[in-house]
């Protein structure tokens, strides 16, 4: 059975069809008509299960419309049955993308403790136990969010993008911002890696490759980790 996998993030949407847990080509959408984009995808092939993870809020009519274009709709939340255990103290406040990423990690590295670093609008650092339990994690501002914050909350600091090269010590204001932001994130990540040396480290999100190239540790970069986890959850429901 073919399922349609939808991951709606803060700034973009990713989608892919999946045959079981095998993902097809991923599509990215950054427009405003999210419902229209998803409906257009279902015109190609009606999905058995349409699974949605969204960090954005949509009204009830959005999901009612999606029910019409699939056999079964799954909106990932704290009530969704999962192939892993969720040990988060407030599951209703947990971002579904974080949970989906943990499901994917448990499939990729069974019986191993993992740390998932998702480099997006926010940097999320999530922990998966070797028993397949989501233990929780931490959230801090992502790369571009840090650049924007310095520009928004000061009068004279410019808005910058991530640099190709980073100097250890800034000799100009531009270099000082670039080095402070990028190295601050690197040191943050290295702190977790140093504290948990026996874990598997997984990088995902838009800036994953950028930071993986700047760190010397053994790191697994998985581009579509959330989509993979959603495909696994959809397959889990299809078989149960």
Evaluate whether 162 touches 207 at the Cβ level (below 8 Å).
yes
What tokens does 174 get?
């531009």
Q: Torsion angle, CA of 231/233/239/240, rounded to 10 degrees?
A: -170
Catalytic residue among 40, 78, 97, 207: 97
Q: Tell me, yes or no, if 235 is annotated catalytic.
A: no
The secondary structure of 110-124 as a DSSP string is: TTS-EEEEEESSEEE
Q: Which of 125, 130, 84, 78 is nearest to 103 (CA)?
A: 84
Cβ–Cβ contacts within 10 Å for residue 56, how many? 11
- The residues that are catalytic are 97
């Amino acid at each position: 059975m073919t399922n349609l996998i939808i991951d709606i993030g803060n700034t973009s949407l990713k989608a892919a069809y999946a045959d079981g847990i095998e993902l097809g080509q991923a599509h990215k959408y950054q427009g405003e008509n999210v419902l229209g984009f998803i409906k257009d995808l279902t015109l190609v092939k009606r999905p058995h299960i349409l699974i949605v993870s969204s960090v954005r809020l949509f009204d009830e009519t959005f999901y009612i419309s999606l029910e019409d274009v699939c056999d079964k709709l799954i909106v990932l939340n704290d009530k969704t049955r999962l192939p892993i255990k969720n040990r988060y103290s407030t599951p209703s406040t947990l971002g579904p993308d974080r949970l989906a990423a943990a499901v994917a990690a448990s499939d990729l590295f069974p019986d191993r403790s993992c740390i998932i670093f998702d480099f997006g609008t926010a940097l999320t650092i999530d922990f998966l136990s070797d028993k397949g339990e989501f233990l929780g994690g931490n959230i801090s501002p992502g790369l571009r969010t840090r650049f924007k914050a310095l520009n928004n909350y000061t009068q004279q600091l410019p808005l910058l993008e991530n640099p190709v090269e980073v100097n250890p010590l800034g000799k100009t204001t531009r270099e000082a911002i670039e080095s402070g932001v990028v190295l601050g994130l690197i040191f943050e990540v290295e702190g977790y890696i140093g504290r948990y040396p026996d874990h598997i480290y997984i990088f995902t999100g838009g800036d994953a490759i950028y930071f993986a190239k700047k760190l010397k540790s053994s790191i697994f970069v998985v581009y579509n980790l959330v989509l993979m986890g959603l495909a696994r959850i959809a397959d889990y429901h299809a078989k149960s």
